[in-house]
Chains A and B, each alone.
Chain A
Amino acid sequence: MIKAKPKPLEEIIDNVKDFSKLLIAGCDGCVTVCEAGGLKEVKVLASALRLYFTQAGKQVQVDEASLTRQCEKEYLAQLNDRMEGYDAVVSLACGVGAQYLAEMYNHKPVFPGVDTCFLGVNEERGLYSERCQACGRCILAETGGICPITRCSKRMLNGPCGGSDKGKCEINPDIPCGWELIYERLKTLGQLDRFERLVEPKDWTTSRDGGPRKIIREDLRI
């Protein structure tokens, strides 16, 4: 899932302080799970902004909405009737949702209310960690289900570097060495022979090297 964290309130205030009719638009998808977007966070941010504007002596209308997903036109269209009434929108969706919202309502300033961070898991409430870098060519089958592109700080493909120390990464002793994890997992699976197979240089053309990516599924298109 996409993981995000709320932007500092100061930054959001700085972005919207000159508008007089604001819509705070949440997304009930990924960012709701990590409690950065969604209706609840929309209400908290809207309340905070109303307090700010009121104490500053400004009459600003701050309204609230949350869509099932901001990365789909059909859900964004639910704002069609309301959008004309606002000067600007703060999007509490990931960068994808905020951009699609801006694309759909291109005459309205859209400000991000969260910092989109990575594709990750909920280890526990309030603790999220990265698991995938969306490189476009998954090699989990070869690496015991643990991604070296994400879990190894250097994205090594053929075992750990010299900085692996007692199972930890040299960049931070709190970060496990990705290749140590892979080794242990392959051992558990009885597949240590995989560890001995050389992996060819990775084809990065499916990653960011080719610019913005696109998936075209002819089998799904009409």
Chain B
Amino acid sequence: MRLQYPPNLRIIEVPCTGKVDILHLLQAFEQGADGVMVVGCMEGDCHYMVGNLHARTRVKRAQEILNTVGLGAERVAMYNLSSGMGGRFAEIVTEMTNKILELGPSPIRRAMGKGQMVREAGEATT
């Protein structure tokens, strides 16, 4: 397909987004991630029935926590798409990267002494 998307994305593969724990999301920010995107299967298409629904609730809780601690809920997001939607994947990665670039570096990374604009936009699960 030769689709292009921003190169500043680190993909962490998990068997199912149901494996993504709230701690994975929070600890990514503790380690300086500017944004995290969780990319799961389409709702209703989970091989494990409800893995992506669990992931959605965890992302929502992470958003609430990030809002309260001053990082902003927008830095973490959940997307649903199938393995046949390569074009859409490139689109959402671009969309999330642009959103994070607009928000600027995470205050955590700034506090860690790495104040320059970070090109590593986040993580994705497939």
Which chain A residues have a beta carbon within 8 Å of chain B's beta carbons? 9-10, 13, 40, 43-44, 47-52, 54-57
* B1 interfacial contact with A, CB 8 Å: no
Pair B29/A51 contact, Cβ less than 8 Å: yes
Distance in angstroms between the alpha carbons of A213 and B66 in the assembled complex: 42
* B95 interfacial contact with A, CB 8 Å: no
Pair A44/B107 contact, Cβ less than 8 Å: no
Pair B23/A54 contact, Cβ less than 8 Å: no
Count of residues in B whose CB is under 8 Å from the partner chain: 17
Pair A55/B26 contact, Cβ less than 8 Å: no
Q: Identify A56's interface contact among B27, B65, B66, B70, CB under 8 A.
A: B70
Pair A47/B68 contact, Cβ less than 8 Å: no
Number of A-B contacts (CB under 8 A): 48
* B108 interfacial contact with A, CB 8 Å: yes
Pair B70/A48 contact, Cβ less than 8 Å: no
User: Given A47-B27, A47-B30, A57-B111, are A52 and B22 also a contact pair (CB < 8 Å)?
Assistant: no
Pair A47/B108 contact, Cβ less than 8 Å: no
Given contacts A9-B69, A44-B26, A54-B30, 6 further A-B contacts (CB under 8 A): A9-B64, A9-B68, A51-B29, A51-B70, A51-B71, A55-B70
Pair B70/A50 contact, Cβ less than 8 Å: no
Pair A55/B107 contact, Cβ less than 8 Å: yes
Pair A13/B68 contact, Cβ less than 8 Å: yes
Pair B68/A55 contact, Cβ less than 8 Å: no
Q: Which of chain A's residues have a CB closer than 8 A to the CB of B29?
A: 51
Distance in angstroms between the alpha carbons of A54 and B114 in the assembled complex: 13
Mark contacts of B10-31 with chain A using CB atoms, 8 A cut-off: 1 yes-contact digit, 0 otherwise.
Answer: 0000000000001100110110
Q: Which of chain A's residues have a CB closer than 8 A to the CB of B27?
A: 47
Distance in angstroms between the alpha carbons of A55 and B112 in the assembled complex: 9
CB distance from A95 to the nearest CB of B (A): 23
CB distance from A64 to the nearest CB of B (A): 11
Distance in angstroms between the alpha carbons of A210 and B50 in the assembled complex: 50
Residue of B nearest to A49 (CB): B69
Pair B30/A52 contact, Cβ less than 8 Å: no
Distance in angstroms between the alpha carbons of A9 and B23 in the assembled complex: 16
Pair B23/A52 contact, Cβ less than 8 Å: no
Q: Identify A52's interface contact among B64, B70, B112, CB under 8 A.
A: B70
Q: Which of chain A's residues have a CB closer than 8 A to the CB of B30?
A: 47, 50-51, 54
Q: Which of chain B's residues have a CB closer than 8 A to the CB of A57?
A: 111
Listed residue (A40, A51, A57) with the most chain B CB atoms within 10 angstroms of its CB: A51
Q: Which of chain B's residues have a CB closer than 8 A to the CB of A50?
A: 30
Mark contacts of B57-93 with chain A using CB atoms, 8 A cut-off: 1 yes-contact digit, 0 otherwise.
Answer: 0000000111011110000000000000000000000
CB distance from B106 to the nearest CB of A (A): 8
Distance in angstroms between the alpha carbons of A116 and B40 in the assembled complex: 35
Q: Identify A55's interface contact among B23, B64, B65, B111, CB under 8 A.
A: B111
Q: Identify B108's interface contact among A13, A48, A55, CB under 8 A.
A: A55
